[in-house]
Structure 1
Amino acid sequence: MLCCAPGAFAGDDGLTQKIPVEAGLRSMEIRCKESAEADEQAPPAVKLSFELNFGVFEPFNLIRSGDVGDQSLEAEDSTGRKLGAVAFDVGNLHTWKRGKRRVTVFKGECPELPSPEAEWIRLHGAFRLPVTRDVPSPVYDFSLSEGAVSFPVAMAGPEEEQECAGDMAVAGDAGVEELSVKVSRRLGEKWVLEVMLWNDKGYRIASWELMDGDGKPLKTDFVNGIISRDSSRPGIGQYMAVDGGTDLSKLKIRLYRKEDMGTVSLPVDMKMGLHGTVPE
């Protein structure tokens, strides 16, 4: 059951960059929970629990961090009764891709039960979570007619993101890092290409986008990643397989690197009735 997405907010650094958020109810139930105490005569506690789908939209993503532990949202029912703080374990989050969203599930337990006369329950507050975003490089034209090529590339900074998103570049233009691409081997009916970004800045690459000469994304099988720990030439890369009929003389590539945005306040405000979420 989904509820409305409650808006977008800026990070700790005060930037005006907004992060669209979506929160939804996965499940809500009242159940008996056995007491942890040894007293067998004690009746089981009745608890109200929630599971929330929570997500951000691309190019943003949520990351796991040991600095983030349990966090709470405030709960109240339609009679005005305060149900206390619902604690959610957000420290062990992992996300998966669903369309244009990166989503996770948070589980929480309410300390109080709603009034028998209540028609709905409201959860509101904010999760403070570590956020990253994928920053695109320009698109680079290159050729593998000779089997291998190396050229400088510019890994866009935050202020360059909008300018670079639609830029085109030609291999050989001025850049700050070196990218090498070569034909590694034949794998059945496919070519395996080795793509390496050589740099000492520790860039984390979120994805590698390979295109044909017209800019159409190629169907690519990612074989495995590569890490060079050579102190004189550190780098990261990817083996990727493309169809054997691909024209290797005219190719394009774009890289997306992960940029940490720090801990960001992401809002939640939702109402849940006995038969699902309550529309605004």
Structure 2
Amino acid sequence: MTGDMNDQHALVTGAGQGIGEAIARRLLAQGARVTVLGRRAEPLQKLVEQHPGHCQMVLADVADEAQVRAAFAQAAAVHGDIGILVNNAGQASSAPFMKVDAAHWQQMLAVNLTGTMHCIQQVLPAMSAAGWGRIVNVASTAGLVGYAYVAAYAAAKHGVVGLTRSLALEYARTGITINAVCPGYTETEIVRSSIDRVVAKTGRTPQQAMAEFVKSNPQGRLVQPQEVADTVQWLCGRGASSITGQAIAVAGGEVM
């Protein structure tokens, strides 16, 4: 393991697959001790088994404050105070706005926005005491622009960007940086499932359905999870000390 994170304990939420897994692997490669957090043990187990002594898992639903508090305490008891937090856990669901009920709305806010708040509150005291910390919130281009049929998700992700900017100002003199990364459509299980739903509902071929997802990206492709992980790694490094309060789009030029 090489890199400049040998003295850091990083915690990554939603690390069982896709972007979260790519981020956890990248931070492990940089020498960090990494705690991976998710709701289920099975998706996280492979990372723990592949990196014995350097990677541990804790289980929690980020929308549940008590579970988050217990999981973060467990993580710190093993690997020490958390100096890097990556809030990647999220959930996406689509529906026409007039079919969005209160339960759908609250679920999008609870997982994507309130869960981010719960996790940040667990790490700020120790980061402030240390005079150093890195918080990266994985938002979405839906946190920067609007998309039809995902009003609740977009509202939650806009909230994540607003939270990021406000906390960056509040903690600007503490040595803690707080940023957001906003991926466009990324080649993950969520997008693959969305393509399958389009095929099932419309009768389009998988290639036709894929074309709908990539047409908004000027590069004409899906973003790769490793590209998002690269950006997160940079923001977590010591060389990004002057970068805070930013919402960085990783989207092939879709958002400028």
Give the TM-score range, shorter chain.
under 0.3
Q: Max radius of gyration: which structure?
A: 1
Q: Which structure shows the higher strand fraction?
A: 1
Q: TM-score, normalised by structure 1?
A: 0.22
Q: Which structure shows the higher helix fraction?
A: 2
